[in-house]
Structure 1
């Protein structure tokens, strides 16, 4: 890494001050750990909304704010990331909700490229689950500090010390609890603040739709109220003190330890404590590093990177929106930026702040903020936008797909809509679209990390583009990058197929399975077969 060049050393102190107020973070978890519920609860406690809802709400409860897509509300899962901008006290919180299902981990990976901190959400009964482990590996690879929130403490679960031990043993992250529950999982009484020893007694709000009532008590009052449960909690706290499980900022920022908080998102228990920890502990935006390894101060001229594309959030206008994380500088609506990939100007007349599916015009923004640029047909995931001296940030890599299917239009008269829809889903990264001379553009191959992505394709092609598709699944499980010199040999291999990815024109070889791959590599030692990225690391299957 090199120091900033002379062209970027002139910085704006006002921009740096605004950047210091920002906290940009994501929530990561295994499916059903309560991620969308926690996202809603954080927005509720920050007074961004007046009542929290559930995906399958009853009575007058609304749908979860971040789950805006019809398919999300129908299935009760998050299948696309969403951005929520919340003003809280003197801070601006940029909360990026992510898909919880493993099949959409590529979307989550892109979001993690745009945050400065992550909340790792654990189910109190299940602890660390497979998808949580994968996402933590991505956080570690990207050096994203992690705050842990143990959720669902109002339901039966495991011992708190057992959960802490699992975190340290399985992922090598030293847990440092900031608070401690009084009452076992399923009998949640309240929380002890390890900083001052005070006790917060929690009272459930009807239906969990509003903030839980909290009562602050000193140690003597708490002991009298909670009896044996208080005594047990104090004994556990003494043990934490003996083993040195205390918050340490340098190790947290280095990704070596994780502050831990306990709570229950559905009844809004412990959410205000998590919110305060985010404000106090989560890092503000740091000076970004460009693709050449040069540091660009946050106060330098504007630069930002597209980390997500999304079409048709507004069904009335059928628009295409680019989500841009601001890396440096002061953004003003209407400014003309340079698109680094093409060198062409890009006007920002239509720039918005997004709160779930709701949007409002944004006139100014600073490092750490996420802006949504409307009708961004020229932009793609990973693109850099800037003013002043040229800058380009490192590309956001695609995951190695494991599932493949041929797509065909069910109605030949809707072929133009079919082409438009497939191209849009490719640009968004919903699936990777592969073409070849053998199959032709009328039958592209869709490549996905998980099979649920194909359900999204069928739903969106029918509902948004009015071009229903038929999908024929292919018996391939691996993709490898090759080159023009190896392509003729690869074309003739049994159990393999050569395709060109439309987005970057790289040649990919699809292979039936890892056993067939080993045979091909053994019999063709000079054949170029380069692993792709999988889960933030090289796919070495």
Structure 2
């Protein structure tokens, strides 16, 4: 048996050592998406460790009170959930992979929307126990909306009642995917020892304290028959969507390993097939093979067609070349208030840009000088001098909105395809607990509405309340907590008040007696009249008619008489 250790290639890979076309082919932009508690952040933590990005792994709810690297917000570590998507960049086997870890709660679904909008591929993580769940369906729709190819990773095989076969059946039945295993588990639950690589017919064991050592061996004898059956099933699923393998299948010729891998890649890029990988991130098994599959099966920027629209609404295809021959075009897909001002996350679709140069917002036409370019690693920033097509980076000092397109030439008025923003579904009233906190309250509200397009605010003139709307109770609860943590402003939230209106149903006569004695000549007056309802199409209207004659009632008193209508109505129709 061979004993090998996989390395990330950090020391051996240099972008200067390869050509521009090869540089593009060695890039991957992927997102990690799944239902709540499927293990996305744990998978990402292992990816960072095995690629050499971090030297020590931490758990989402670890005993050392550190928390996962990508959950950099204090509130995320307290609750043990991902609230904001976080970006990082790793090197793996001489490939550069930009990774975005996304939330699983539906309340923060806009984070998944804008991440998938700018990514070329994705990893769909499924729980081996829970299988396809509600948010899995939502994430699947989002991937379909933006035509994002993906590989599936069935996680948590170490849990009791883990059943990857059931999860595969649910993927086919509930998601409608043409999917098949490329791995088989060697044991389940507490007996999980490794995986079987179906394509190369070998066992893969993850050894060492952190599973960093890979050992390849013979397939256990009790799994050989199942491996051959699953391999045949894999070939059939691919043959149904790929002409080359389909022809070999009809001729009863078994494809070679390279032919099968190439066919899986073609069908994955066309979204007609999904390879299903297995592992357990918590027990450090299967993550390295997941990274290998990301490199082998998911697209590089040159294999994804991206479009922009000009002023005449003509669709133009972006060039993925990194040589800088084409004008620079980038999309601002996320805003974040940093310590040094607004941090704008960008996906570069065309051209090259160096810091110190000027960019133009194609929506507003404003010119802005970019003095700092950074590459994000969770909440840490690494300065870079230039970015090119395919990169995901962040700019400082830009006043813009989420979804704005930036170009290097002022006459190039392009707009990238927009992202889908769901409508808010729940509303609450927000107000600061202390009147002295009004300034901080206003600052926080303004910042949150800029960062999150699903968090909306308006002031109700009738109830005199500030009404905030979002995607769920957790969504608004998190913003209330952030207001306290980040702006030292306690927020009182509650159900919005309902402004009731009353009207009369039939004509009624009224009389109002006015008497006032304050010394000297007193005041005395009596008003009589009739109040009757207007037609139903005159909702919220009020008509006043003066039927007095002569000079018994001076005309200067008539406007005051009109004002007493509210008093008389409240006397005859008190609130119920």
List gaps (5 residues or longer) in structure 1: 1-12, 477-488, 493-541
Shift of 1:185: 4.5
Q: Which residue of 2 aligns with 1:189?
A: 193
Q: Which residue of 2 aligns with 1:95?
A: 99
Quick check: 1:337 aligned with 2:339?
Answer: no
Shift of 1:124: 0.7
Tell me the alpha carbon deviations over residues 158-214 of structure 1, each in whole angstroms, 9 at most, x when there is no partner. Answer: 4433322221111111113222222234422222222221221233x44xxx34432
Change beyond 3 A, Cα 1:159–1:232:
farther
Distance 2:468 2:462 in 1: 12
Tell me the alpha carbon deviations over residues 278-333 of structure 1, each in whole angstroms, 9 at most, x when there is no partner. Answer: 11221111342013322121232211111111124xxxx36321111111111212
Residue range with higher mean Cα deviation, 151-160 or 250-259: 151-160
Paired residues in the alignment total 451
Find the residue that maps to 2:487 and give its secondary structure: coil
Change beyond 3 A, Cα 1:31–1:464:
same
Q: Which residue of 2 aligns with 1:214?
A: 214
Q: 1:26-45 maps to which residues of 2 (within 5 A)?
A: 26-45=31-50
Distance 2:328 2:432 in 1: 43
Tell me the alpha carbon deviations over residues 369-403 of structure 1, each in whole angstroms, 9 at most, x when there is no partner. Answer: 21112243x12110111113332113333211111
Corresponding residue to 1:228 among 212, 222, 227: 222
Residue range with higher mean Cα deviation, 85-94 or 38-47: 85-94
List gaps (5 residues or longer) in structure 2: 1-17, 240-259, 499-536, 541-576
Q: 1:69-88 maps to which residues of 2 (within 5 A)?
A: 69-88=73-92
Tell me which structure has the larger Cα radius of gyration.
Answer: 2
Change beyond 3 A, Cα 1:398–1:419:
same
TM-score computed with the length of structure 1 as normaliser: 0.78
Change beyond 3 A, Cα 1:76–1:98:
same
Task: Kindly indicate whether the alpha-carbon contact (under 8 Å) linking 1:106 and 1:449 is maintained by their aligned counterparts in 2.
Answer: no
Shift of 1:435: 2.2
Distance 1:32 1:491 in 2: 51
TM-score computed with the length of structure 2 as normaliser: 0.73
Corresponding residue to 1:413 among 403, 411, 436: 436
Shift of 1:16: 5.0
Quick check: 1:260 aligned with 2:276?
Answer: yes
Q: Which residue of 2 aligns with 1:385?
A: 406
Find the residue that maps to 1:343 and give its secondary structure: coil
Change beyond 3 A, Cα 1:177–1:249:
same
Distance 2:377 2:84 in 1: 14
Find the residue that maps to 2:316 and give its secondary structure: coil
Distance 2:75 2:368 in 1: 32
Task: Kindly indicate whether the alpha-carbon contact (under 8 Å) linking 2:156 and 2:162 is maintained by their aligned counterparts in 1.
Answer: no
Task: Kindly indicate whether the alpha-carbon contact (under 8 Å) linking 2:151 and 2:274 is maintained by their aligned counterparts in 1.
Answer: yes
Task: Kindly indicate whether the alpha-carbon contact (under 8 Å) linking 1:25 and 1:116 is maintained by their aligned counterparts in 2.
Answer: yes
Higher relative contact order (CA 8 A, sep 6+): 1
Find the residue that maps to 2:75 and give its secondary structure: helix
Distance 1:56 1:172 in 2: 34
Q: Which residue of 2 aligns with 1:165?
A: 169
Quick check: 1:52 aligned with 2:57?
Answer: yes
Q: 1:339-354 maps to which residues of 2 (within 5 A)?
A: 339-354=361-376
Residue range with higher mean Cα deviation, 160-169 or 148-157: 160-169
Q: 1:126-165 maps to which residues of 2 (within 5 A)?
A: 126-165=130-169
Quick check: 1:434 aligned with 2:439?
Answer: no
Distance 2:363 2:538 in 1: 31
Distance 1:345 1:352 in 2: 20
Task: Kindly indicate whether the alpha-carbon contact (under 8 Å) linking 2:334 and 2:345 is maintained by their aligned counterparts in 1.
Answer: yes
Q: Which residue of 1 aligns with 2:24?
A: 19
Shift of 1:95: 0.3
Shift of 1:230: 5.0
Change beyond 3 A, Cα 1:259–1:238:
closer
Shift of 1:231: 4.9
Find the residue that maps to 2:172 and give its secondary structure: helix
Q: 1:254-403 maps to which residues of 2 (within 5 A)?
A: 254-285=270-301, 286-291=304-309, 292=313, 293-299=315-321, 300-312=326-338, 317=339, 319-376=341-398, 378-388=399-409, 389-403=412-426
Task: Kindly indicate whether the alpha-carbon contact (under 8 Å) linking 1:22 and 1:93 is maintained by their aligned counterparts in 2.
Answer: yes
Distance 1:229 1:185 in 2: 17
Q: Which residue of 2 aligns with 1:508?
A: none
Change beyond 3 A, Cα 1:470–1:370:
same
Shift of 1:405: 1.3
Shift of 1:14: 6.5
Find the residue that maps to 2:123 and give its secondary structure: strand
Distance 1:128 1:276 in 2: 24
Task: Kindly indicate whether the alpha-carbon contact (under 8 Å) linking 2:110 and 2:454 is maintained by their aligned counterparts in 1.
Answer: no
Change beyond 3 A, Cα 1:168–1:421:
same
Task: Kindly indicate whether the alpha-carbon contact (under 8 Å) linking 2:265 and 2:298 is maintained by their aligned counterparts in 1.
Answer: no
Task: Kindly indicate whether the alpha-carbon contact (under 8 Å) linking 1:29 and 1:131 is maintained by their aligned counterparts in 2.
Answer: yes
